[in-house]
Structure 1
């Protein structure tokens, strides 16, 4: 089955190449090229505000190779519609069934609230699934350079569908998507071509991963660590997560392909540290490797940043954004840091959509 999927991927890219040859330079086999689009089924709270297209488009992996990805382009029913915001969703899982564009169960409530606010402002929303969710390759979970590329290229894809859309865009995301939004910010000058990034809004983004990875095993949220190890494997196949995981954890790996986030967390939440990883501790070299892939802003961002974080976040602790804020300021980039008191990861999104949208509006103005 995997062989068939790889052949299908190669065929799709080949078809795109033939389209280039027949359609001329206006249709290029470049990131953002739309291979197909179809009417999307949206949650009721969003279908009242927008029409949607599910798209299959070209993006690149972290080494620059062409791959395919899927996502949504949501066009508001009212407003000017010509400005674009890329929305990066939080963790859904690793399996194809965990793609929000086709599975409304993982189009989380907080994401619906955030996207509804963007649409209510009259902005087109480009919402990628991220590579590997709904496409043949493995999902590079928490590899921000992958998510950031797919966010930028989903914006490009939206403009392929509607040439009237402005080149100006903002990236906005939560958790995994918040990190992706920050990676997009540092990637933009060399990657987004004629687009103009006006800013990144990051809600509870993962950063400074080395500060928490050593302490995750044995906690209720250790399923994230299992997924993160496989995120590294997706971009570095020579890295074997089983060299880190303990036998009891390995025995439950099937859930990564049969379940999405909450099934994965539930599967691992009661494990003791030594049942999850060998010796109960992630080796220092593995921690460093993961941080090198996961930590955003290892190079300078290119546009202003809004950072939003809840103080009761058990998945991505608040203190990480305190460290991150100092790192952003050290680059000399404008930063707005908003703390949401007593807020969980979910609450940080649902209690701040108007504040985030107000900040985005100032960027567009």
Structure 2
């Protein structure tokens, strides 16, 4: 009788332990069900109360992503609205997308490339995930799809932020580094909640504005998203030395086209960054009349003769306003050459780039190295600004693979 009680006790204990183990395993692998967001542009407006009570990188809602920006050949593409911390320090909603390769993830999960896009404009309609493949900024978004597909083919998850205020409520703080960096890194956090097969190993990459954003994201990653392991950063023709260029604005007397449009967007970014510069008071009457268009038009429209493209850069600001406070603000909030980076960096630059001048990025590389960064640099002969991602991808893929071993 005693032996029977012992056997029964052992059996009950074994079943109990098995139940605990099963429950633990389930808890470890079960993913909380995420809310499905609405279709259309309503997706980009967060529901009341959704920004409270959760840390940055939390998912507000998601839905299946379709169209060309879903990247044909992907295993799954998901549109995401997630939480971040905006330029003023308050919680904001940011949109983006998550794309994973086909097949089974490797041990440790898919390594992830968080891609930061180039300039499209400040208006909500300019957000890459909101703009149709044939829309007004198609030339500013579609060019990189083949390269992003190549990343998927190599077994990398690809996540892409639209940035704070671009597509979502609020004004996009154009080229304000801390805002961009938070959006880029919080995108990875959100992606790992959407798809647990995405791992912790990260490459931060981007082109033009996105190269600028990638450098800023890397600078904050260790403290902002410490659970992620940034293996390296690839910056294709990153914007840099903006304060030095701003100091030269009065020497540019010809109608600026896209250059004047960029200058207006940079000024708008400083305007919303909360750094104590009253930008409208600095603008000439002609520029002040056009200034509201920065919030409503995309980059190609702003560069038109009917908008800022019809103004010479020197005519954007009043002739008698001192430039020093503005230049100092841009240096503080925008310029990546001031950063201290602790993970490897690759800078790819085209020698024929007339948007981001090679001389500035040669300085950028030297300055980052002087601050302790390990920077590899490649100058691609005859390559323009728009072609640098395609021309530099093969070497960038090899560079990424070595850092992700």
SS at match of 1:133: coil
Match of 2:360 in 1: 320
Match of 2:172 in 1: 139
Deviation at 1:158, TM superposition (A): 0.8
Cα distance change of structure 1 residues 34 and 45 upon mapping to structure 2, 3 Å threshold: closer
Query: Given the alignment of the two structures, is residue 196 of structure 1 paired with residue 229 of structure 2, yes or no?
Result: yes
* Separation (CA, whole Å) in 2 of partners of 1:292 and 1:139: 18
CA contact (8 A) 1:46 1:112 kept: yes
Alignment of 1:280-299 (within 5 A): 283-299=323-339
Regions of 4+ moved over 4 Å: none
Alignment of 1:198-347 (within 5 A): 198-216=231-249, 217-218=252-253, 219-220=256-257, 221-236=259-274, 238-266=276-304, 267-279=307-319, 283-347=323-387
**TM-score, normalization by structure 2:** 0.80
Deviation at 1:308, TM superposition (A): 0.8
Match of 1:101 in 2: 129
* Separation (CA, whole Å) in 2 of partners of 1:158 and 1:235: 27
Query: Given the alignment of the two structures, is residue 13 of structure 1 paired with residue 37 of structure 2, yes or no?
Result: no
Deviation at 1:79, TM superposition (A): 6.9
Cα distance change of structure 1 residues 44 and 305 upon mapping to structure 2, 3 Å threshold: closer
CA contact (8 A) 1:273 1:280 kept: no
- Between 352-361 and 268-277, the greater mean CA deviation after superposition: 268-277
CA contact (8 A) 1:308 1:339 kept: yes
Match of 1:351 in 2: 391
SS at match of 2:48: helix
Aligned length, in residue pairs: 347
The one of 76, 80, 86 equivalent to 2:101 is: 76
Q: Which has the greater radius of gyration?
A: 2
- Between 205-214 and 51-60, the greater mean CA deviation after superposition: 205-214
Deviation at 1:110, TM superposition (A): 2.8
Cα distance change of structure 1 residues 44 and 228 upon mapping to structure 2, 3 Å threshold: closer
SS at match of 1:252: helix
Q: Alpha-carbon deviations, 1:169-222, whole Å to 9, x = none? A: 110001111011111111112111211111110111112222212334543311
- Between 127-136 and 240-249, the greater mean CA deviation after superposition: 240-249
* Separation (CA, whole Å) in 1 of partners of 2:370 and 2:275: 35
* Separation (CA, whole Å) in 2 of partners of 1:321 and 1:203: 10
- Between 239-248 and 88-97, the greater mean CA deviation after superposition: 239-248
Cα distance change of structure 1 residues 30 and 121 upon mapping to structure 2, 3 Å threshold: same
Match of 1:24 in 2: none
Match of 1:61 in 2: 86
- Between 155-164 and 63-72, the greater mean CA deviation after superposition: 63-72
Q: Alpha-carbon deviations, 1:234-277, whole Å to 9, x = none? A: 22175332222211122223432332111111222232345322
* Separation (CA, whole Å) in 2 of partners of 1:355 and 1:186: 23
- Between 305-314 and 48-57, the greater mean CA deviation after superposition: 48-57
* Separation (CA, whole Å) in 1 of partners of 2:75 and 2:262: 33
**TM-score, normalization by structure 1:** 0.88
CA contact (8 A) 1:186 1:297 kept: no
SS at match of 2:92: strand
SS at match of 1:319: helix
